[in-house]
Structure 1
């Protein structure tokens, strides 16, 4: 298994190190446009191997030729959000970056699975799909895994319970229009509605929607990276080990949830070839409407990129 991580910033470097420690690949390539950064970080990671006890080789490079024949490509390249910026503010700049990255990686890898982390997430997944011409099941966005992790962590904190017992789904676009689905949220099988009053649930939902911005406001210059990296690697683990995990990811939806031809966060089954199945769960009228409204925002932004992607 060869895994390439594009972008040696905080998210990419953290993900690459986690991939190595979890022994998900024999060869890991860390690529960045800045000379010396991926080389230095990769060497530092490799020197940790005797302590962390992994045998993966980690290479840093500025040359896309070194990504040849990758099985999985994790794209984290792009500008990070700054305070006051929405994910949509990054649209044109990061679309140009992701377009160029996708074109380059596809020159050297014929049938990889692409996992997108760059923001605006759902739209950048669309960009990679259009430019790569890969089957839809092999282009996946890391969205709901992160959003659900944030929701679960806030619930565990509020109830003072173990993270292990909290299950939650956050669907929709990876942004302010995301849809935390409360009726599928439980703690050790107990519905959240039986454990917290509605006003506290509403507050947790709102904090989840603004969870990324909360971190950006603290950091001032930069955005979250530990949780995004861990979330992306959870997806990689499901693929490498053919686990058939059901995770909320950004996938191309056609015909389900009343949606067509749009990348949006939905529950998917992940296996060795990417998306095995898109799961259509029963949403109430309000949740379905919110999901469709979220998808409409994504579609509108994707349509604005038509000339760029032609």
Structure 2
């Protein structure tokens, strides 16, 4: 029997995730949205690409959560963008309400699924999803580190002129400006990246990676990134469904690792059929630990706002 992937939210990130997942033939896809016609149209359009591209999977666009029943993976991309005059607290509350609604309807229909959160603020929304689903924490995670590290690797490739395939890079922390790139754990063909790039240029690349999402928003003017976020999500889906045991950074629930408790935070994990099968604790130096602590404080402040809002 084919695996089933339900993607909640058929905007640019959701529909492009469906595209990557279909191209990889990872399973049958349900594309769900509250707006009538949008998921049906996008789903049918993608399905009609199958004879051309040669991927063999079924794609259903729907407005009904009943169609998501017995999913192996639930991906949530639904969320509201921040509008003029909207405070950070307002945005958190709106997206928390959306997340609770999505998860409370989808999770009971697929009790054995792995949930991958993609909406923002990522770390906090993953926490909301875990509470709303009641799932074991290893089966609820957030997609952020895969995207952030991909941006970091891209900028290193641009700087050095080498293939992106030979670049391995690690980032940790919350998704956004407080993420923690780790040059000490970044390599090109197994060679430390510091052998290719000097300290000042590397610091500039790290800063650009931190602000990678904002750079694209500024360029697009009326939207945000979706190709790379969707590809990152599809990589996580593939790691779970194919039990690949990938070592990648995801937003995982911490219970003392890195000195942090009761928080979803970006850390390297082994990702396989069981979801987050192991959290990897890296031996951080004093500078890295300080950056990690700062990032954790930013994530914690968002969680505090969330808890205040109820």
Q: Is the 8 A contact 2:108 2:133 kept in 1?
A: no
Give per-residue Cα distances to partners, 1:254-295, cap 9 Å, x unaligned: 111111111000000001010100000111111112112211
Q: Give yes or no for the alignment of 1:12 onto 2:14.
A: yes
Q: Which moved more, 1:155-164 or 1:286-295?
A: 286-295
* Cα distance in 2, alignment partners of residues 86 and 196 from structure 1: 40
What's the offset of the Cα at 1:82? 7.0
* Cα distance in 2, alignment partners of residues 232 and 112 from structure 1: 15
> SS of the counterpart of 2:183?
strand
Q: Is the 8 A contact 1:258 1:292 kept in 2?
A: no
Aligned to 2:107: 106
What's the offset of the Cα at 1:307? 5.5
What's the offset of the Cα at 1:107? 3.1
Aligned to 2:232: 231
Q: Is the 8 A contact 2:251 2:266 kept in 1?
A: yes
Aligned to 1:142: 143
* Cα distance in 2, alignment partners of residues 179 and 247 from structure 1: 14
Q: Which moved more, 1:139-148 or 1:187-196?
A: 187-196
* Cα distance in 1, alignment partners of residues 13 and 185 from structure 2: 29
Q: Give yes or no for the alignment of 1:170 onto 2:175.
A: no
Q: Is the 8 A contact 1:88 1:120 kept in 2?
A: no
Give per-residue Cα distances to partners, 1:93-124, cap 9 Å, x unaligned: 21111111111112322221100100111111
Aligned to 2:216: 215
Q: Which moved more, 1:283-292 or 1:9-18?
A: 283-292
> SS of the counterpart of 2:115?
strand
What's the offset of the Cα at 1:92? 2.1
> SS of the counterpart of 1:92?
helix
Q: Give yes or no for the alignment of 1:291 onto 2:292.
A: yes
1:1-310 correspondence to structure 2 within 5 Å: 1-25=3-27, 27-80=28-81, 90-306=91-307
List alignment gaps of at least 5 residues for structure 2. Answer: none
**TM-score scaled by length of structure 2:** 0.95
* Cα distance in 2, alignment partners of residues 169 and 91 from structure 1: 28
Aligned residues: 308
Give per-residue Cα distances to partners, 1:35-77, cap 9 Å, x unaligned: 0000000000110000111121100001111111111000000
* Cα distance in 2, alignment partners of residues 49 and 87 from structure 1: 41
* Cα distance in 1, alignment partners of residues 88 and 21 from structure 2: 26
Q: Is the 8 A contact 1:19 1:233 kept in 2?
A: yes
> SS of the counterpart of 1:261?
strand
> SS of the counterpart of 2:182?
strand
> SS of the counterpart of 2:178?
coil
* Cα distance in 1, alignment partners of residues 65 and 149 from structure 2: 33
> SS of the counterpart of 1:250?
strand
Q: Is the 8 A contact 2:8 2:78 kept in 1?
A: yes
| Distance change in 2, residues 1:208/1:88 (3 Å) | farther
**TM-score scaled by length of structure 1:** 0.95
